[in-house]
Structure 1
Amino acid sequence: MDKIMEQQTTITEVQNGSVGSPKGFITGGQNIGMRKSKPDMGWIYSQQPASAAGVYTTNVFQAAPLKVTKASLAGENSLQAILVNTVSANSCTGEKGMANAFTTRKWMADHLGLPEHYVGVASTGVIGLQLPMDKMEKGINKISLQKAESPFEEAILTTDTHTKHLAVQFEIDGEMVTIGGACKGSGMIRPNMATMLAFVTTDAAIEPGDLHAALKTVTDRTFNRITVDGDTSTNDMVLVMANGMAKNKTLTANHPGWPTFLAGLKEVCQGLAKFIAGDGEGATKLIEVQVTGAKDEHSAEMISKSIIGSSLVKTAIFGSDANWGRVVCAMGYSGEKFDPDKVTMGLGDITLFADGVPVAFDEEEAKAYLDQGTIVIHADLGEGNGEAVAWGCDLTYNYVKINASYRS
């Protein structure tokens, strides 16, 4: 059985929770002049060194800040601070861009009195732009851990329409443990990471190796199951920091509280992933695809990703058109083998297709369902116990408008 689902302890959501909710974490943001007035630099700081792990974009072009953060983690698998800037992705910027990323890491470390390898850096924005180093240096030097100009969650946004954050709490070893997270992402979103940055913090005590294993497992079932437009960017990463200030016994995969920790981490990452999918550029609807009855989880995952990634499915949802043919077509080219005569699929509680043939349904009822803000597409292959869920959004006229003039 999936260990993520075996937990028994109650997990509760923290009201207005975010990446700064766990004990010992301080976050903030400010404007350093890269934008006219909106915040464009953010930071996360832990009062003590934290076990850290990351997962990264699969794009062959990997941005300088991503490489620098990997180098930081290669030291002790620990971080104590993360610096994030918007506007410039510092990607495809050559040796100068790499040197600038290392320099900003050093400035941040010096400002906070930390070893350089305890600092991670992340950037998001336009590919090919060098960092404005004068503004970066002045911005870093005015960072205050006592008072921030703006929330961290606002400082990392690009085309996002709103901030994305949440936190949960649960008990381990009689101690209250908190996991919090914040992310940005709206376009260039695809399974296998995308133009998204996600930052997760926890006050749990956990070994770095086990933390990385947990992040990889959970990312595969959350962030790697969302899509907006099928594009994978150059800067994408998910970073997690665990500073141990909850004072629980150190977590490993053999700890009885491990399933609870995994479940809490999944709840945070899944929530953030759905926020990203629902805030896709120009989107009006969140789409959830539920595939059941597959031969195994991998097969269900591939089929769900194929459906959610179909431009024709996404445009049909935008137009509130119950065009089930587009869904079964996307299932058919997923690369997975299954018996089409056993397939049943539908929208919400409305069955459109069963045992390989269409089912009579009320078009007006289906349209009324598709006019809602959240749409669930379900497909049962009738062959096994494999199941998976993927998330995405509709494809609208505004998506083209936003991306046709992204650099202007």
Structure 2
Amino acid sequence: MKEIIGGVCAPKGFYANGIHAGIRQNKSKIDLSLIVSTVKATAAAVYTTNLVKGAPIYVTRANLNNGIAQAMLCNSGNANTCNADGIEIATETCEILAKELKIQPEDVIVASTGVIGLPLSIEPFKTGIPEIVKGLGNDLNHADLACQGIMTTDTKKKEIAIEFMLGNKVCHMGAITKGSGMIHPQMATMLCFITTDVAISANLLQDALKESVSDSFNMLSVDGDTSTNDMVSIMANGLAENEKITEKNYYYAEFVDALKYVTIYLAKAMAKDGEGASKLIVAHVAHAKTIEDAKIVAKSVICSSLLKAAMFGSDANWGRVLCAIGYSKANVDVLKVDVAFKSNAGLVPVCKDGAGIPFSEEIAKKVLSEDEITIEIDLNDGEGESSAFGCDLTYDYVKINGDYRS
């Protein structure tokens, strides 16, 4: 597979757009995004585990009961969460869009992101939806506009498109995501919209999405908070004309690999753009007793506030890694644990068999001063392997969240 340009418009039959509809006060900010397939697509989604859920999640979940969708609509600036009329607003939004696109309201995936508990008017949707539909396009510029429209505290756009083969057919996948804070590994962790022209059954699309999310977005943490509106959704319209995937065969595995490539890329991009972050941190765990033990350890390490602070200060305080492993509740023999810090500046082993070893603080400082750091953890106790993605904890995180509503 190879990376290509085009974002969510790279797959055949997908159009997108983004506009300022008036939901956000800043008129220079795009606050409404739309992605449309020219034909009905099989669709799947995974949602936040937070008991408090945004109204759009309830509406989207009901709409996707039949595994079919044709459009994705998302607004930023208002989460439509904890509003008495939230479900009514989300439902009417689907109806307005369906009328403009001449599709069924049940074929709309609807999402919102922004401030929780802020009243949301239907008026921006009534005026904005006809405008956004009129301006739909299938080039990179329109994909970028859709990407911008889902951003909140994000400082960078997060999008990717790839090309890959299924049999003798060229297939494509594109995706955009938003997420910078309120991110923790409890599916979902943010908003992500994925498009593909692969032909695949709805039930296998759901399985593939869950499998890819397990190794990507569910291994991501910025600040330990699981949002109320998190959702990852995918539409597969079949226009690549591959033999439809209806069983878990070789082609299904190839599709899952492509999906994991996309979601892991975006998970890393989100971690690197974590609120106030200056570094991407990857915790790679090898030779655990099981894959599940590897995942537990990796997530425990990446979620440690003390470790995140040490990474911000480029401090090789490896004891914080061992500490996080110790309270992770994974099945680990701490007397077998090896730890090293790695970046483009080199590799520094700091712990062997659960005990410290001599290392150069000067070299370690240089290694940890890079903007992408990997913590290599070898448990020397099996074949389980996994990685988790996070970022350092900086002063700016508090500044951003101290006045988020402003």
Deviations 1:311-347 (A, max 9, x none): 0000000000000011100000001121111110110
| CA–CA separation in structure 2 for the residues paired with 1:377 and 1:325 | 12
Taking structure 2 as the reference length, the TM-score comes to 0.95
Residue 256 of structure 1: how far off its partner (Å)? 3.0
Residue 38 of structure 1: how far off its partner (Å)? 0.9
From 19, 29, 40, the counterpart of 2:8: 19
Partner SS for 1:124: strand
Residue 172 of structure 1: how far off its partner (Å)? 1.2
| CA–CA separation in structure 2 for the residues paired with 1:173 and 1:314 | 44
| CA–CA separation in structure 2 for the residues paired with 1:195 and 1:307 | 18
**RMSD of the alignment, in Å?**
1.2
| CA–CA separation in structure 1 for the residues paired with 2:187 and 2:204 | 21
From 111, 126, 132, the counterpart of 1:122: 111
From 207, 214, 217, the counterpart of 2:201: 207
| CA–CA separation in structure 1 for the residues paired with 2:40 and 2:395 | 46
Asked if the contact 1:26–1:145 (Cα under 8 Å) also holds between the matched residues in 2, the reply is no
| CA–CA separation in structure 2 for the residues paired with 1:12 and 1:297 | 28
From 359, 365, 369, the counterpart of 1:367: 365
Q: Which moved more, 1:283-292 or 1:187-196?
A: 187-196
From 58, 64, 75, the counterpart of 1:85: 75
Asked if the contact 1:175–1:246 (Cα under 8 Å) also holds between the matched residues in 2, the reply is yes
Residue 375 of structure 1: how far off its partner (Å)? 0.4
After TM superposition, the structure 1 = structure 2 runs for residues 224-303 of structure 1, keeping only pairs within 5 Å, are 224-303=218-297
**2:70 paired with 1:72:** no
Residue 302 of structure 1: how far off its partner (Å)? 0.3
* Structure 2: 5+ residue stretches without partners: none
**2:368 paired with 1:378:** no
Taking structure 1 as the reference length, the TM-score comes to 0.95
Q: Give the corresponding residue for 1:153.
A: 147
From 165, 172, 183, the counterpart of 1:171: 165
Aligned length: 395
| CA–CA separation in structure 2 for the residues paired with 1:193 and 1:317 | 26
Deviations 1:173-213 (A, max 9, x none): 31100011100000001001355100111000000000000
Deviations 1:66-121 (A, max 9, x none): 110001001x2110001100011001112x11111111111111111111101110
**2:301 paired with 1:311:** no
Q: Give the corresponding residue for 1:352.
A: 350
Asked if the contact 2:10–2:172 (Cα under 8 Å) also holds between the matched residues in 1, the reply is yes
| CA–CA separation in structure 2 for the residues paired with 1:398 and 1:85 | 26
Partner SS for 1:106: helix
| CA–CA separation in structure 2 for the residues paired with 1:389 and 1:339 | 19
Q: Give the corresponding residue for 1:109.
A: 98
Asked if the contact 1:109–1:116 (Cα under 8 Å) also holds between the matched residues in 2, the reply is yes
Percent identity over the alignment is 46
Q: Give the corresponding residue for 1:43.
A: 34
Asked if the contact 1:194–1:231 (Cα under 8 Å) also holds between the matched residues in 2, the reply is no
